[in-house]
Every structure is written in C-alpha cells, then in structure tokens.
Amino acid sequence: MRPGGAHPLRKESTAQPHSKPGLDARRAAVRLLAAVIDARTPLDALTDNEHGHPQFLALSARDKALVRAILVSALRHRCTIESLIRETLERPLPEKARALSHILHVGAAQILFLDVPDSAAVDLAVAQAKTDPRTARFSGLVNAVLRNLARGGGEALPRALARTRDAPAWFMEHLESAYGRETADAILAAHRREPPTDFTVKSDPDGWAVRLGGRVLPNGSVRVDRLPAPVAELPGYAEGEWWVQDAAASLPARLLGDVRRRAVADLCAAPGGKTAQLAQAGAMVTAVDLSASRLQRLEVNLNRLGLTAQTVEADLLAWRPDQRFDAVLLDAPCSSTGTVRRHPDVPWTKRPEDIQRLAELQSRLLERALMLLRPGGVLVFANCSLDPAEGEELVGRLLAERREVVLYPVRASELPDAEHFITSEGYLRTTPAVPETAGQLGDVDGFFAARLRVQE
Ligand SMILES: C[S@@+](CC[C@H](N)C(=O)[O-])C[C@H]1O[C@@H](n2cnc3c(N)ncnc32)[C@H](O)[C@@H]1O
C-alpha cells in the first residue's frame, strides 16, 4: 500500500507510466471538470501555470492547451452536451455517477466541438473508464454513448443547440429578470462563441491594427478575431506598445475625464488594465490591491509598458492614506458574470448567494472609496458583472440612503463611440448581446459603471 492507503488504480494525480498517448490529458480534463462542477473551483486557478492543479502542471504545453480547449468547450456547451448524452440513454445517469458523467462530457466535448478524431476521443474515454474503479463497469456504456454521438453529431448537434440554453437555471433566471427574454437569449448566444481579443494601444491604432492583423474599433481599441500566436509573442508586446483589455473594460476609466497631473486612486487595481490607462493618460496613480501576487503582476505589466504608478498592498476596507484624491476608480471584485465568454466556468462555480455576498462587499468598498475623495472629486464605481444587484440596484440604494452622494450621469457626448451603452439614468451598462457592426462598438464583455460625486 502507498502512503495514505491509496490503491494504485485510484491514484489520479500523476502521469501513468504505461498510459496510452493522450490519456493523461483526458484524465486531467476529467479531474479538472470535476473540480469545477463538483467543488466549484475556478478554471483559471486550476490551469494557472504556476499554482494550477498538479495533474495539469504535469502535462506538456501542447496537452495543457488541449485540456483547456476541452474544458472551455465542455463548460461553454454543458447543457447542450448533457441533452445529447441524455438522448442516447434509456434512463438518466444516477445523480451520484459523477465520474462517469465527467468522462462522457469530456469525450463529447471533443467529438462535438474540437478537431480531435472521434475514434481517439472514444477510445481514450473508454480506456479511462476501464482504469477507474468507479466507472470500470460502465466502459461499455461510455463506448456506446460516445459512438452514438460521433455517428449522429452532424445532425443532432444543431438541433440540440437550438432547443437548449447553455446555462444553469439560476443564471438564466437572473439574466431574464434583468434584461428580458430576448436580450437574455442574445447574451447566452454570445456566451457560446469564442470572443475576440481587444488591445488597448498607446498610440497609432491604425498601424497596430495592420501589424496585429486586426481592425480599429470605434473606441480606438484594436480587435483581433483569432490570435495567430500567444500574446507574449505578438509584435509590440516586448516593446510595451499595448495591453490586452476588452473594449468594454476600457470605458470606465474614461469617465474620470481629463486626468492629466491629477491624483487618482485606482482601487482594486490588479492586474492593472485600468491603472495603465490612467497612467498613460497622464494621471499620478496610486494603485491599491489586497493581493500581493496580483499587485506584482500589475508592476510587471506597468514595467513592460514603461508606465508608472505608486503601488499599495492593502485591504481597502482598512486603508487610511494621508492624502485625498481628485478622482477615484473602484473596479470592485464581483461575480464576473460579464466575462462568461472568456470564463465559461463562472455560471457553474458561482451561486446566487455569491452575488448577494459580493454585492454587500462592494457596498462596503464603495462607502470607503467615497471617503477618499477630496471635495469636488469624482468617483467611478465599476465592475464586470451583468447582475443589477451588483450595479444599478446597489448604486440606487446608496443614492437613496445617502442624500449627499449624487449621480453624475454619463453623457452621450463623452462617449460618442459607446453612446448605446449609456442608460437613461446615466449609467454605463454593456452586455455581449450587442453585436459589433460598422461604426458601432459591440461584441464586448458585460460591464457596469456609475459616476458619483459627494456634495458639500
Ligand atoms: C476585478 S479585479 C480588478 C481588475 C483591475 N481593476 C484591472 O482593470 O485590471 C478586482 C481586484 O480587487 C482586489 N480586491 C478584492 N478585495 C479587495 C479589498 N478588500 N481591498 C483591495 N483590493 C481588493 C482583488 O485582489 C482583485 O485584484
């Protein structure tokens, strides 16, 4: 017996000495899918190149990319895949057959959405089922279900996509109650698509659009639909000419107006997309974040870009600086439901209780942030949530309770390139439901921003 009494067949965390080519990657994919679905662990944490899951870290770079691609597809289309698996079964799988369900989902994601030969996806899923005592007796079922999907996939898939909404029930309900059925459906449809990559460029957007093989968006960002190489290998990365930032994420910092030579506090700043924007616009930025490792990433990013900011590692709730600021940007920690296109695990790892908990934290952070404004200063509260509980409702409540805090509405003339994202109240509200068309900013992440002042 090994330490801990584990049977060798049950050992899941290391490469198997005689395993079939490709089997370790599928084992890792199943293990990580279980961690996301059953333990609600964020995919980014599991696939982090330094601190990720040991089974993921043991893989080659190529297999890591494959595992990520499998998981992104499996999560992005989780309900569609589930519906197709159910169609091929006489009875639904028992709720506790988790390992079996994850093997089927990983196999199905490859067959339906990836450029992996069907035979390899089926054989490796069957081999994995056979070597796991929890699933060994179901290896015939795995074979039958996946072969069935491989045979019928071409026709069955479009039908399943048309009848299925790819999100957990609570998430669909929140979207529908906030935006109505039509917009909720458009958001869910956007969540199924691979999003483009947007770059904020320091200068010469036209030139960078040519060099990066993209196009200039109405807000001046450069958009590339499919990256030809990893970001760090693209032209201009080493020279610090641009940073990756969704076009919607670049809008809140602009609401602070002309920040040249102004003292600006960027609160909850890491990894520093908005710090870079403010520093580039000439502000004297103090960037505050709770996380030492994330703040370190911010510093590395600013160094690469040749930009400077004073960095402070602190809990905003306890931070008592000597100075007050002309302007404050609070990009608060949130449910991140506006970034599901890039993080398809979010609806599966978050719960409605998390939205409430985060909204309460955001209210407390916002109260603190308001105290850091000098008289006459301006504060922008922003986050990448689609949920009004973290946006319109939270700010609405603050305005009702604190008469001296007033909304400083965003005007169309300030953001002519994003006028359609300004609400009648003067909030900024973006969603991925709006398509990109010539001259109209669209196909962006979900963001909320409100601009506030404190009256004397
Ligand atoms: C949405 S991210 C910020 C993204 C960043 N503004 C950007 O544009 O790159 C939220 C950040 O808030 C930080 N954070 C969470 N709670 C905090 C607190 N109590 N005080 C300071 N920072 C906090 C997290 O470490 C995280 O880096």
Question: Cα 356 vs. chain centroid, distance in angstroms?
Answer: 19
CA distances from 454 to 313, 361, 364, 405, 440 (A): 26, 20, 16, 5, 33
289 a known binding residue? yes
Tell me whether 0.95 is exceeded by the ipTM: yes
Distance 295 CA to ligand 1 centre (A): 9
Is 274 near ligand 1, meaning CB less than 6 Å away?
A: yes
Within 10 Å of residue 187's Cβ, how many Cβ atoms? 26
Phi first, then psi: give them for residue 403, nearest 5 degrees. -60, -30
Question: Cα 135 vs. chain centroid, distance in angstroms?
Answer: 32
Residue with tokens 């509405």: 409
Is 198 near ligand 1, meaning CB less than 6 Å away?
A: no
Is 338 near ligand 1, meaning CB less than 6 Å away?
A: no
pLDDT of residue 18: 56
Give the model confidence (pLDDT) of 52-63 as tens digits.
999 999 999 999
CA distances from 150 to 153, 154, 220 (A): 5, 8, 44
Is 271 near ligand 1, meaning CB less than 6 Å away?
A: yes
79 a known binding residue? no
Within 10 Å of residue 207's Cβ, how many Cβ atoms? 14
- Report the share of the chain in percent with pLDDT over 90: 92
Distance 397 CA to ligand 1 centre (A): 22
Among protein residues, the one whose CA lies closest to atom 15 of ligand 1? 333
Phi first, then psi: give them for residue 265, nearest 5 degrees. -95, 120
- The tokens describing 442, both together, are 């669209």
Buried/exposed code over 171-184 (b: 16+ C-beta within 10 A; e: otherwise): bbebbbebbeeeeb
331 a known binding residue? yes
Distance 318 CA to ligand 1 centre (A): 14
Out of 198, 256, 289, mutate this one to test ligand 1's pocket (max ligand atoms within 8 Å of CB): namely 289
Question: 201 - beta bridge partners?
Answer: 242
270 a known binding residue? yes
Q: Are strands 428-430 and 447-454 parallel, antiparallel or unpaired?
A: antiparallel
Among protein residues, the one whose CA lies closest to atom 19 of ligand 1? 315
Within 10 Å of residue 128's Cβ, how many Cβ atoms? 25
Is 284 near ligand 1, meaning CB less than 6 Å away?
A: no
Which residues are marked as active site? 384
Q: Which of 333, 381, 329, 330 is nearest to 355 (CA)?
A: 333
Out of 243, 244, 290, mutate this one to test ligand 1's pocket (max ligand atoms within 8 Å of CB): namely 290
- The tokens describing 71, both together, are 């998981």
Question: Cα 180 vs. chain centroid, distance in angstroms?
Answer: 23
Is 6 near ligand 1, meaning CB less than 6 Å away?
A: no
Cα separation, 353 vs 332, in Å, equals 17
Cα separation, 137 vs 391, in Å, equals 50
Is 333 near ligand 1, meaning CB less than 6 Å away?
A: yes
Q: Which of 384, 356, 372 is nearest to 449 (CA)?
A: 384
Alpha helices in 114-212 (DSSP H): 118-131, 139-163, 169-191, 205-212
Q: Are strands 310-313 and 405-407 parallel, antiparallel or unpaired?
A: unpaired
Distance 96 CA to ligand 1 centre (A): 37
Give the model confidence (pLDDT) of 432-442 as tens digits.
999 999 889 99
Within 10 Å of residue 115's Cβ, how many Cβ atoms? 6
Cα separation, 273 vs 286, in Å, equals 14
Alpha helices in 192-282 (DSSP H): 205-212, 251-254, 273-280
Q: What domains appear along the chain, each with residue ranges and CATH number?
A: 3-163 (1.10.940.10), 246-454 (3.40.50.150)
Within 10 Å of residue 218's Cβ, how many Cβ atoms? 18
Collect the ranges in the chain with pLDDT lower than 50: 1-15, 17
Distance 247 CA to ligand 1 centre (A): 19
